[in-house]
Amino acid sequence: MSDQTNSSTTWPADPMLDPSLPLSRMKIMDITSAMAGPCCSEMLADMGADVIKIESPSLTPDSRGGPPVVKGESGGFLIVNRNKRSLTLNLKDPRGKEIFLALAKNADVLLENVRPGTLDKLGLGYEDVKKVNPAIIYASISGFGKTSPYAKLGGYDAIAQGISGMMLSIGEEGRPPVKAGVPLSDFGASIFTAYGILVAYIYRVKTGKGQPFSPSPGDGGKGQLIDTALLDVPIALQVKQMLYYFLNGKLARRMGSGDMDAGPYRAFKTKDGGITLGGTNVNLWPKMCKALGVEELINDPRFDTPANRNKNGAELTELFKPLLMTKTTGEWLASLRANGVPAGPVNNLAQAVADPQVKARELIVEVDHPKVGKFPVVGMPVKFSRTPGKIRRPPPMLGEHTDEILAAMGYDPAHIGALRADGVV
Amino acid sequence: MDFALTGMKVLDFTHVLAGPYCTQMLADMGADVIKIENPATNAEARGGGPFVKGESATFMMVNRNKRSLTLNLKDPRGKEILLKLAKDADVLVQNFRPGTMERLGLGYETLRELNRGLIYCSISGFGLNGPYKDHGGYDLMAQGLSGLMSVSGEPGGVPLKVLSICDFGTGMLSCWAILVAYIERLWSGEGQIVDASLIDTPFFFLRKQLLEYFTSDKVPGPTGWWDVTNAPYQAFETKGGDWINVAGHSAFVWPRFCELIGISELVKDPRFATGHLRHSHREELADILQAAFLTKTSDEWLTLLQQAGVPCGPINTVEQILADAHAAAREMVVERVHPTVGPFKMLGIPVKLSETPGQIRTAAPRLGEHTAEILRSLGYSEAEIETFKKEGAV
């Protein structure tokens, strides 16, 4: 019952695009919520991609992401959605669907993490979008992936951590399962998917019309489907645990703050806090013993080689525990660093954020949100010498750019008003 | 089969985990990765234990699909070979301490004069700037310094190390950054320095805790099997002492979850009326739910919860997930034959691309396995190669 077919076929480009940024030619439709999907598109947006976030008009500002609510906005949304614009679209309405497909026709990438099967049911799955745009890179993030026996089940980060074996790989022997405090499956899926998208984009440029370097790389080229499962992330990242199991069919011990094959590579309590020690290899062991004032251990037959230190790791740990308690973290660090031994404090988050290195690396930066005000977010996770990423926009308010985007697609104000009145946008 | 990164030439000077994982991600998608190694190195220095038939198994987990060229960079002939390769390379990845490559005469500025398109990726403990830039750092130091250890583990327990997540996360993020720089280079023709560090990576993962800290000024602590912002979203003990994970926190799932566990009056309980309230009363809520979960076994609960569409899952060991149909269907374990070790299992490609899925072509190379082959392709004669070998230049 679409009342008018919109003839515009151009992408409604972000007027605030920065053409000097590396991905400024990349056009992305973002149909994601929670953490894994939004963080993935944010990684591309930070590097200049033009990301349009498509959200349901029935959402409210505090229901777009997880808690806490900050001045009426969902905090969970604010931490993974900067540099994007927001368009509200009711995808169950044929007019909403039409706008969606008009965008898809000109997009390079479509990223989604809605419940498995939902977009297919709406006629907006990969096969449908491919019909209007064979070059589309359609990336899908789900709990279990499209080819898993569990493909239809919903999944979250914690569930992936549990199923993957990870909750029983980390933690301490004899204790209940523990989760990594951070949502590793979510954010790991963000990075792996961004990697998949960039790889697919390079392939698409290579197979496109304007060989070798098209001025408009979006023209033609081969698209594809990218399928990421949250569950695959903690499986892939348990490299050492899996290795031990592959080699001898035994489960690796849970090591608390330590590691399986490198002693003493772990955290110790000090007089006033905690410290991590990394002086385990052949070159560093004598230096570490010197820094800790236990030169007699250097050639002690129980600990003189990495293999012996590993074999007698428990004994060495018991020797180190009371020793490290005799001085403060700061005193030990001064001595260890003077001897060139890798070591560091065990910080809480307040201490970490205040650390001079963390400041120097600009790991916490501010966005200025029209409603929330100045709000701290995580900075660029890798530094580029010539094309550093940039925060051009704060996370968008719900539907903030609907009018602007529709107008750029050729809709007149009366038409947009009618769509809004009908709950289509 | 088509490979997305066919034609990308990568020089890999990395060791330990972060750097090798980065270049392996490129190699899996078709890049030609040449690992430059010291001819005097050994299995211990190459990747550490455990060892299989004299090879470092850790090395083998993160260096598949690469070729190994041994070069003595202090020998002028070794350096000359390296410069020939660098002239033609797209990407160089190194994880020496800052300054080491410069001392070898292989710093960015020097190589840029040879090859202005070179993407030069440096992976270090603390990055190329800041007060700690000259310190050595490992995964463990980054986990401790960033606060990551302080938010993992049980309240009151020891601070927990989470896998080698700063290593692998840095490998992943530097791979992302290299691809971004490579795409930009398609238009500009210019390379650049990509500077990744183990200390930057944990902050990428800590954003939920940072949100909590910045909005409440409370310093987040370890949450055991809880979640920072959602409840009930956690592990419960079931009949028989087993544990399962359940996610009943969303507004959509919460009513049917209450129904399913047989405490439908919880839906009306004002303490648990919204997601925010459920989280602020998470301990009271967990006590009520824990009692209910002890009445059935894990299998019974998982069946019921799945039927009702409540996200849930077992808490497996590594052995159990490897035996699960999911791992096979997703090809998460692959086996390749290593010339010395024989059949060797490793982990599959963690993202599935329909047209250019990538491929695990070969197991990790033996030390210097491809030295002669690579030197020949650079035009060196058999006699020269023999001399270089004999005299320790390669």
pLDDT digits (tens, 9 = 90+) for B320-339: 999 999 999 999 999 999 99
Instruction: Note whether A114 and A232 are same-domain residues.
Output: yes
Residues A384, B173 contacting (CB under 8 angstroms): no
- Give the model confidence (pLDDT) of A43-90 as tens digits: 999 999 999 999 999 999 988 988 889 999 999 999 999 999 999 999
Q: How far is B349 from chain A (nearest CA, A)?
A: 8
Q: Is residue B23 pLDDT above 90, yes or no? A: yes
* Rg of chain A (C-alpha set): 26
The pLDDT of residue A215? 43
Active-site residue list of B: 167
The number of domains in chain A is: 2
- Give the model confidence (pLDDT) of B246-292 as tens digits: 999 988 899 999 999 999 999 999 999 988 899 889 999 999 999 99
The pLDDT of residue A306? 84
Instruction: Note whether A276 and A392 are same-domain residues.
Output: no
In a domain, residue A252? The reply is no
Residue at which a domain ends, from A321, A346, A371: A346
Instruction: Note whether A117 and A197 are same-domain residues.
Output: yes
Residue at which a domain ends, from A346, A376, A391: A346
- Whether the link from the prior residue into A68 is cis, omega within 30° of 0, is yes
| CB within 8 Å of A50: residues ≥ 6 apart | A11, A13, A14, A17, A24, A26, A27, A28
Q: How far apart are CA B49 and CA B338, in angstroms?
A: 17
The pLDDT of residue B351? 97
**With a CB-CB cutoff of 8 Å, which residues 92-131 of chain B face chain A?**
125-131
In a domain, residue A83? The reply is yes
Helices (H), A67-183: 75-78, 94-106, 118-121, 126-132, 157-163
Positions of chain A with pLDDT under 70: 1-9, 210-219, 261-263
In a domain, residue A251? The reply is no
Active-site residue list of A: 186
Among candidate residues A37, A35, A5, A11, the one with its CA nearest the CA of residue A24: A11
Q: How far apart are CA A251 and CA A278, in angstroms?
A: 24
Q: Does B168 lie at the interface with A, CB-CB under 8 angstroms?
A: yes
In a domain, residue A18? The reply is no
Q: Is residue B216 pLDDT above 70, yes or no? A: yes
Instruction: Note whether A159 and A79 are same-domain residues.
Output: yes
When pLDDT is averaged across residues B183-202 and rounded to a whole number, the result is 96
Count Cα neighbours of B248 within 13 Å in the Cβ-side half-sphere: 27
Of residues A75, A76, A256, nearest to B158 (C-beta): A256
Residues A173, B229 contacting (CB under 8 angstroms): no
Q: How far apart are CA A220 and CA A216, in angstroms?
A: 10
In a domain, residue A74? The reply is yes
The pair of structure tokens assigned to B109 is: 């500025």
Instruction: Note whether A76 and A204 are same-domain residues.
Output: yes
The pLDDT of residue A214? 46
Instruction: Note whether A125 and A227 are same-domain residues.
Output: yes
In a domain, residue A260? The reply is no
- Give the model confidence (pLDDT) of B63-96 as tens digits: 999 999 999 999 999 999 999 999 999 999 999 9
Q: How far apart are CA A200 and CA A206, in angstroms?
A: 10
Query: Which amino acid, A292?
Result: L
Instruction: Note whether A46 and A136 are same-domain residues.
Output: yes
Instruction: Note whether A194 and A309 are same-domain residues.
Output: no
Query: Which amino acid, B98?
Result: P
| CB within 8 Å of A346: residues ≥ 6 apart | A267, A273, A274, A275, A276, A329, B144, B149, B150, B159
- Report the SS3 class of residue B210: helix
Residue at which a domain ends, from A296, A319, A346: A346
* Inter-chain contacts counted by CB atoms under 8 A, chains A and B: 500
In a domain, residue A108? The reply is yes
When pLDDT is averaged across residues B200-229 and rounded to a whole number, the result is 93
Q: Does A369 lie at the interface with B, CB-CB under 8 angstroms?
A: no
Q: Give me the sheet containing A267-269, strands edge to edge.
A: A267-269, A274-277, A343-345
Q: Does A16 lie at the interface with B, CB-CB under 8 angstroms?
A: no
End-to-end CA distance of chain A: 16
Q: Does A316 lie at the interface with B, CB-CB under 8 angstroms?
A: no
Instruction: Note whether A396 and A293 are same-domain residues.
Output: no
CB neighbours of residue B55 within 10 Å: 22
Instruction: Note whether A175 and A311 are same-domain residues.
Output: no
In a domain, residue A254? The reply is no
Residues of B in contact with A80 (CB under 8 A): 207
CATH number for the domain spanning A273: value is 3.30.1540.10
Instruction: Note whether A97 and A208 are same-domain residues.
Output: yes
Residue of A nearest to B2 (CA): A203
Q: How far apart are CA B76 and CA A126, in angstroms?
A: 55
Q: How far apart are CA B138 and CA B276, in angstroms?
A: 38
DSSP 8-state assignment for residue B265 = G
Q: Does B323 lie at the interface with A, CB-CB under 8 angstroms?
A: no
The pair of structure tokens assigned to A51 is: 């990301």
Residue of B nearest to A24 (CA): B184
Residues A34, A75 contacting (CB under 8 angstroms): no
Q: How far is B344 from chain A (nearest CA, A)?
A: 8
Average pLDDT, chain B: 95
Q: Which domain holds residue A370?
A: 27-237+363-421
Residues of A in contact with B174 (CB under 8 A): 382
Instruction: Note whether A395 and A340 are same-domain residues.
Output: no
CATH number for the domain spanning A200: value is 3.40.50.10540
pTM score over 0.80: yes
Q: Which domains does chain B have, with CATH numbers?
A: 9-204+328-390 (3.40.50.10540), 233-314 (3.30.1540.10)
Alpha-carbon distances of B110 from A8, B86, B116, B182, rounded to whole Å:
50, 11, 10, 20
DSSP count for chain A of H helices, then E strands: 17, 14
Q: Which residue's entry shows tokens 């920065």?
A: A18
